Copies of this chain bind each other. A is one copy, B any other.
Amino acid sequence: MRQAGRYLPEYRAIREKHDFLTMCKTPELASEVTVQPIDIIGTDAAILFSDILVIPEAMGMKLDVIESKGPVFDKPIRDVRQIDDLETENIVSNLDYVLQAVKMTKEKLNNRVPLIGFSGSPWTLATYMVEGKGSKNFDVIKSFIYNEPEAAHKLLRILADSIVKYLNAKIGAGCDAVQIFDTWASILSPTDFEEFSLQYIRYICENLETNGAPVIVFAKGANDFGKLAELKCDVLGLDWTRNIGKVREEIDGAKALQGNLDPTVLFAPKEKIKAETERVLRNYGEGAGHVFNLGHGILPKTPVENTKYLVDCVKELSIKQ
């Protein structure tokens, strides 16, 4: 989860010289920071340095990423005309810089570890595009879907189609696996989740041309694992509020599970990091199908030493399982 980033001094050294979007858009820089954690902390996979909001940006929405405040869209979507104005024809060519970053990263990785590419889900992207910035109560996007459901579905369909093209292109450029993040699944009731999020994730999963690349779906805070397990994907992501073993049981092993250590455990003393790592591994239990990971993104102030220690713990303790 977001392995590259502010917790690494090597990342900060580059970030000081370039703004965030420039780093996303410059394949040399994006590939460099993508590879950093492989060399520094020794993870088993690399996740491409990028941002989920490159898609709306490529559709013509002006985006500012202010690190202390999060992303801000200049003109959030508030009516259907703005949706009609989104540029979708050239979405893949507008995002060519990502594909170049994939190719450059694959060269730098030189087959040491696989490379994961990602996209936000249609719902999560729409949330940012309509709210325009971070939100506490999400009343703007919710008002939008309740009062203008047709416009909302139009936007979500456009996004779903673009995401299919984008992820197919990423796989074509060399990504070994792709992940769909639905961070804001967590704010929806079960029926709204089905209507405004899950059906579009399902559509994406069914329309990807994966060429064998595993597809990971992470719908943070979604509760109906039975439904998620029916998706045409290979792995489900889990945050840290679940017992991974119980979810494994609930879905009867239908999917591999990715997760689920609380990222703040990396602020704990080493004994706690080791104990919690053991607990997650033990909760999952024996057999294959567990992609050990944090339950969400690594936090900016995380001590690098502890991150490295976690990776060592996982490697050591997994063998014992």
Give complex CA distance A192, B143 in Å: 35
Give complex CA distance A301, B137 in Å: 11
**Shortest distance from the beta carbon of A2 to any chain B beta carbon, whole Å:** 12
Do residues B241 and A146 form an inter-chain contact, with CB atoms below 8 A? no
Give complex CA distance A252, B188 in Å: 25
Residue of B nearest to A272 (CB): B146
Residue of B nearest to A149 (CB): B272
Give complex CA distance A189, B261 in Å: 8
| Cβ-neighbour of A138 out of B137, B139, B241, B264 (below 8 A) | B264
Give complex CA distance A284, B268 in Å: 41
| Across-interface contacts of A267 in B (CB, < 8 A) | 139, 142-143, 146-147
A191 within 8 A of B: yes
A242 within 8 A of B: yes
| Across-interface contacts of A272 in B (CB, < 8 A) | 146
Do residues A186 and B223 form an inter-chain contact, with CB atoms below 8 A? no
| Across-interface contacts of A222 in B (CB, < 8 A) | 241
Given contacts A189-B276, A190-B242, A224-B243, 4 further A-B contacts (CB under 8 A): A137-B263, A146-B264, A191-B279, A221-B241
User: Copy number of this protein in the oligomer?
Assistant: 2
Do residues B188 and A137 form an inter-chain contact, with CB atoms below 8 A? no
Do residues A142 and B186 form an inter-chain contact, with CB atoms below 8 A? no
Do residues A142 and B264 form an inter-chain contact, with CB atoms below 8 A? yes
Tell me the A residues contacting B by CB distance below 8 Å: 137-139, 142-143, 146-147, 186-192, 221-224, 240-243, 262-265, 267-269, 272, 276, 279, 295, 299, 301
Give complex CA distance A276, B276 in Å: 40
| Across-interface contacts of A139 in B (CB, < 8 A) | 264, 267, 299, 301
| Across-interface contacts of A142 in B (CB, < 8 A) | 262, 264-265, 267
| Across-interface contacts of A137 in B (CB, < 8 A) | 263-264, 299
**Shortest distance from the beta carbon of A140 to any chain B beta carbon, whole Å:** 9
| Across-interface contacts of A191 in B (CB, < 8 A) | 279
Residue of B nearest to A265 (CB): B146
Do residues A269 and B189 form an inter-chain contact, with CB atoms below 8 A? no
| Across-interface contacts of A224 in B (CB, < 8 A) | 243
3 residue pairs, one from A and one from B, having the closest CB atoms: A146-B268, A142-B264, A143-B267
Do residues A189 and B262 form an inter-chain contact, with CB atoms below 8 A? yes
